[in-house]
Structure 1
Amino acid sequence: MEERALIYSFMGSYLIFGAGSTIILKSMDESDYIHPYFQCATLFLGELTCLAIYYLIKFHKNTQSRKNSYKVLQTNDPDSPRTGAYKKYGLFLFAIPAFFYWIAASLMFLGLILSAASVYQMVRGIISIFVTAYSVLILKVTLFKHQIVGICFLLLGIILVSISSLVWTALSAKYPLIGIILLICGQFFAAGVLLCEEIYLKQLDVEPLQAIGLEGAFGVGFSLIFIPILYFIPCNYENLCSHGSLENGYYAFTELWDTKLLLFWLGSLFSFAIVYFTGISTTKYTNALARSTIDTCKTLFVWIFSMVSEWEEFVILQCVGFLCIVFGTAIYNEILVIPWFGLKQSVEARRNTRNTANRSSSTSKVSSIEKEKKEQSDL
């Protein structure tokens, strides 16, 4: 009973703070706090707190002398050859996804300034398409029929949402076309981050919570380098710039003397920290259905709040696009299995392929352990 309550608390926090982070950021934008790069640094500070949480859990585990008290989402494969760059540079390799995520987050926050908050949430779904493309081109992953159908519905939904935002411009959307382009570009880089994380978690002896914290640490470092550089880049576009510069870190701090903005900033920092921790905990303890359902509810919460706050109005075409996104995501993640057109067989074929790969991996691990025990006994 206690474990179930803990899981529900993770899911609820992920939903509330996930939607809340978008609402808070958009509220800051509507208050003319135009500092997307400083907000990006705030995001990485939130990630960095996951590293503190990781070491607190590790410390608790060590003091209690309890093995496996903290289950990881995914551990490294003992048969994975930690050679070359993985062995030489180790955890410093997380600077690479941190760099790409810094670019992605900056573009997304710029897109949020220029777009409606609900559009920001919905267009971010295009990351699934980019991740799939990277997986096929780089990891040589086989794409099944139901995944292609899911991607088509997802792409159709994003197109409809984009068209609706251009035809019926929301009050909070300053330049929706540029905003959507920036959001799509941001997801292009964000998909590369996910690909790097997938590779590193298999090759490096690192836990997901630790990996997020490391990304946060490197991201904060990049922010300390880039934000001063952006100060010297002149920019006079009112909705994209800060006091004549692409980013003015000094004004970003001084404007926080306003009590409302300070509360917004602290709220965003706290929300980012909670979202990353509860997000990975939700993934660990639940399944794709739960995570997908929560992500859909986050979009609904942001959309409803935006309409109540009169940031935007209800548009039927956007609703149709949203339903297409949900439908496509459900098919792609095998939450919804269509029994026609060979889609059910496609799902079964993918599951069989995955189970075969898992059995092969398990057999390989057992063989590795037995070989290690034999070598120890010989000594």
Structure 2
Amino acid sequence: MDEAQATILCEGDGSEARLRVRGALTLPALARARAALRGALARPALRAVEFDLAALEGLDTAGAWLIVSERARLERAGVATRLTPPPARLRELLEAVAAAMPEAPPPPPRQGLAQRLAALGRGVESGALGALDALAFLGLTLARLGGALLRPRRLRMAALFSHMQQAGLNAVPIVTLMGFLIGVVLAFQGATQLRRFGAEVFVVDLIAISALRELGALLTAIIVAGRSGSAFTAAIGSMKVNEEIDAMRALSLDPIETLALPRALALLLTLPVLSFLAMIAALAGGLLMSWIELGVSPGMFLERLHAQTDVKHFLVGISKAPVFALIIGVVGCHQGFLVGGSAESVGRRTTASVVIAIFSVIVADALFSVFFAELGI
């Protein structure tokens, strides 16, 4: 049947309309019939519509879908609809299509003050439970570490050295480059500001205190969190998706002692070294830029550094590194154990690992700053 066999007549005006459908409403006539329906129903004051299908001669699933979907659209818009059914031989198809149509999703609930407060409460509760779970995981890791120190044979040295290479040795180039560039930036910006007051020589103090006390350890921890913490989560998460962790438990192997402890201990041993290298590189970058920008010779820079910079700044900075390492290792391994049974969960937990680790490191650094300030160090 061609498109000319389907005709739609619209009767009535104002708030009511009656649509008489004649001929064969099939797939070839679908586009034309849909345009005719939309044009006939484009009335701003429309309140009631009757679909008169008594004269319908032919119908397929496409035509039935058009009638059912247009009725549903009108009813969602608040327009009352009524249907004069087609002949009995076509009625069964129309009813079958209407029964198979998916239900429209309910409108989203309005977010009032009570709903917003409830969502905030659920978020706070979820965060608190997650923090307690991470704290419990930290306790388990420290317990396994104590057991390994009492019985060194239980410590997997091959895994430890492998993770030390991956998390420590392989990170030396990027950490050193980062420290060098931080020193360059500090020297350049410090020189620009201090030159106004004729105090260019104090740029050495600025670089030394900033790099040794704060930026060396903090920025190294942030880089390691994004580089190694995410790798820990992805590796353990992939093992969980492949059910390798369940197989380890079946073999009476402790996953925390086997997987988490070597990674956390590797960071504990390597992050202080990486922080030290970042500090030295920052001083080197500051020295170079001070020489180029201010004319401060390397000898004068080192003399000023030795005379005015106390070793306590270095000790304060390097003392933060083990704490940062423990935070990154525990968060990365904990998020890996929380991975579900899909690859999507691995990606989600890896992202969460980086965000939580960096946030926790910054919070810990702020607490260190308050603590050392109260002690007068």
Q: Going by fraction, where is strand more abundant, 1 or 2?
A: 2
TMscore range, shorter length: under 0.3
Higher relative contact order (CA 8 A, sep 6+): 1
| TM-score, scaled relative to structure 1 | 0.27
TM-score normalised by length of structure 2: 0.28
